[in-house]
């Protein structure tokens, strides 16, 4: 799922539109906020705590492509989404 960090002084909606433009090279319209999901985990560099703002959005491009070589994006069917490794799992459950 496209996303990223909110810059200091940036609103979450503006961050989403910026990240979509950076990662997928497309404009978008934010339709609605679906959820705010709190998550804690331990990574290779230590403990992390995050708030994920999950939005429904409409993209200007029907088939956008990743603009970042280390990221791949794919449209998933409902069955593919059910089997996907989306973290935290509560976001995958919300989307289903």
Tokens 């959820």, located at residue = 35
Residue-level pLDDT at 83: 96
Question: What is the dotted CATH code of the domain comprising 12-95?
Answer: 3.90.79.10
Burial 1-27 (b: 16+ CB within 10 A, else e): ebeeebeeeeeeeebbbebbbebbebe
What is the average per-residue pLDDT within 50-60? 96
Q: Is the pLDDT of residue 45 over 90?
A: yes
Pull the structure tokens for residue 39.
């998550």
SS3 category, 56 = strand
Q: Is the pLDDT of residue 1 over 90?
A: no
What is the average per-residue pLDDT within 18-35? 97
Q: Where are the domains of the chain?
A: 12-95
């Amino acid at each position: 799922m496209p996303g990223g960090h909110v810059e200091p002084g940036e609103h979450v909606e503006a961050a989403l539109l910026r990240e979509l433009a950076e990662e997928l090279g497309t404009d978008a319209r934010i339709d609605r906020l679906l959820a705010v999901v709190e998550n804690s985990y331990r990574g290779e560099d230590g403990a992390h705590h995050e708030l994920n703002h999950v939005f429904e959005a409409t993209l200007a491009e029907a088939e956008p492509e990743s603009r970042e070589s280390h990221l791949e994006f794919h449209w998933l069917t409902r069955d593919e989404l059910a089997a996907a490794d989306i973290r935290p799992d509560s976001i995958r459950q919300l989307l289903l």
